[in-house]
Amino acid sequence: MSQPEIFRTIAEMRAAVARWRGQGEKIALIPTMGALHAGHLSLAEFARAKGFGRTVYSIFVNPTQFAANEDFGAYPRTFAADVDKLASIGADGCFAPPPEEIYPAGFSTKVIPGGPALAGLEDKFRPDHFAGVAQVVAKLLNQAQADGACFGEKDFQQLAVIRQMARDLDIPTQIFGVPIKREADGLAMSSRNVYLSAEERGQAVLLSQVLSETAEAIRAGKDVSALCAAAAQKIEAGGFALDYFEARHAESLAPVAALADGPVRLLVAARLGRTRLIDNMAV
């Protein structure tokens, strides 16, 4: 089991990327906030299948994408276990910078994403979130200078925001979206699932169940808005505080009224106790 090279500075990461490129390899960057699980690890598997010979994970809990009332301080930080997991899958690099490497004194540039960042989904409940995401992802892509970068469909709106940003800012790294990895019962894997109590963990499966039965009913031709309203009710009846349950166009994220307006994607966000969960599914 070979250990990933740990980079603490941009310069160290760039030197390794340049060395691998010189050896004729293609490099994929996989940005994360750590607390790695099998969903994160599936991103490297995807990259390999796409022909990327080298994978670099970044692990950075980015303060600028958390609001003051969110879980920045409590976010799980499990660096040693993360490195073991990266070793077990043969990841080549792990960029784990200290905060001042990303935001040195005097740092003052913001990235304000539009388009899919204003779709009225996550942005409605986390108004500054995508500005923080776009800021750090723009930096990570420029820092790594990788050929490709992989992002999970788990964060579906985030993926759309990053694709749009990379296109708009002429960032040459190719952006890939990777299917959601789920637990055996269907719960989407997430670093935040560790916050769930045993009872909440039992309830949490409802999100993916309602997504899949709603997707099936839409495919069967039933009314989209009536189904979304019924889905919202089921989720609230299951003990969640619902933020949204919506049917959107899978690329533009614009609202859709019917299957024919698609491809349709169902997206949900709901809170169970102190844990906010998001999930989504193709119709």
Q: What residues make contact with ligand AMP under the rule CB under 6 A?
A: 32-33, 39-40, 42-43, 151-152, 154-155, 178, 180-181, 188-191
Q: Is 40 among the residues known to form the active site? A: yes
* Strand pairing report for 264-272 and 241-249: antiparallel
To the nearest whole angstrom, how small is the minimum distance from the Cβ of residue 65 to ligand AMP?
9
For ligand AMP, the nearest residue by Cβ is 152
Helix axes 10-22, 129-144, angle to 10 degrees: 50
238 φ, ψ (degrees, to nearest 5): -85, 5
Alpha helix locations (H) across the chain?
Answer: 10-22, 38-49, 79-88, 99-102, 122-125, 129-144, 156-168, 198-204, 206-219, 224-237
Measured distance CA(116)–CA(249) in Å, rounded: 11
Please say whether the beta carbons of 154 and 190 come within 8 A: yes
Identify which of residues 13 and 149 has a Cβ nearer to ligand AMP in the complex. 149
For 175, the 3-state DSSP assignment is strand
* Catalytic residue of the set 37, 40, 129, 249: 40
To the nearest whole angstrom, how small is the minimum distance from the Cβ of residue 237 to ligand AMP?
25
To the nearest whole angstrom, how small is the minimum distance from the Cβ of residue 22 to ligand AMP?
28
For 115, the 3-state DSSP assignment is helix
To the nearest whole angstrom, how small is the minimum distance from the Cβ of residue 173 to ligand AMP?
14
Helix axes 206-219, 224-237, angle to 10 degrees: 160
Identify which of residues 161 and 231 has a Cβ nearer to ligand AMP in the complex. 161
Identify which of residues 102 and 227 has a Cβ nearer to ligand AMP in the complex. 102
Identify which of residues 40 and 54 has a Cβ nearer to ligand AMP in the complex. 40
Catalytic residues: 40
